[in-house]
Amino acid sequence: MPTSSEDLPGTLKRSSKKAQKTYAETLDSAHEQYPGDEERAHRVAFSSLKHSFAKVGDHWEEKDTKGPSDPQAAKSGKQARTSKTPTGGGKEIGTTRKELYSQAQELDIAGRSKMSRDQLARAVAKAKK
């Protein structure tokens, strides 16, 4: 069954038609390839989306250059499953410290001025949960 716009996650509903189409077409194909494995189909669709788009706030924007979202995403197969390489952890790799600091200010995160980029990313992600 083709994916309709009502079935898309909220972040995609607020994104461009191209991002929606990328996700929906990949999801439909993944449903055919992995029948009965809904979780895997969605992981495949998000992986495809992340190759060309980056999540910015509450929506997805097209990247300047296509490619994996972090070093772990560049791996595949057994290497990806057994690797200890840290992932982006849900944070956007392209987000600058300045952008993260601004988000930390909005979220009133204590100690933000002394935090590194990675510490800010973790603190912002935790505060948004």
Q: Which pLDDT does position 111 carry in this prediction?
A: 94
All domains in the chain, ordered by first residue: 5-84 (1.10.1740.70), 95-129 (no CATH)
DSSP state of 2: P
State the pLDDT at residue 100.
85
pLDDT band at 127; cut points 50, 70, 90? confident
**CA distances, 46 to each of 31, 79, 111, 129 (Å):** 13, 20, 33, 20
pLDDT at residue 7, as a whole number: 76
* Secondary structure letter of residue 93 according to DSSP: T
* Choice between 83 and 46, residue whose per-residue pLDDT is larger: 46
Per-residue pLDDT tens digits for 61-76: 888 878 776 666 667 7
Query: In angstroms, rounded to a whole number, what is the distance separating the alpha carbons of residues 115 and 83?
Result: 27
Residues 52, 46: contact at Cβ < 8 Å?
A: no
Give residue 1's pLDDT band: very low, low, confident or very high (50, 70, 90).
Answer: very low
Q: How many H helices and E strands in the chain?
A: 6, 2
What is the percentage of the chain residues whose pLDDT exceeds 70?
82
Residues 48, 68: Cα–Cα separation, whole Å:
9
Task: Give the pLDDT mean for 5-13.
Answer: 81
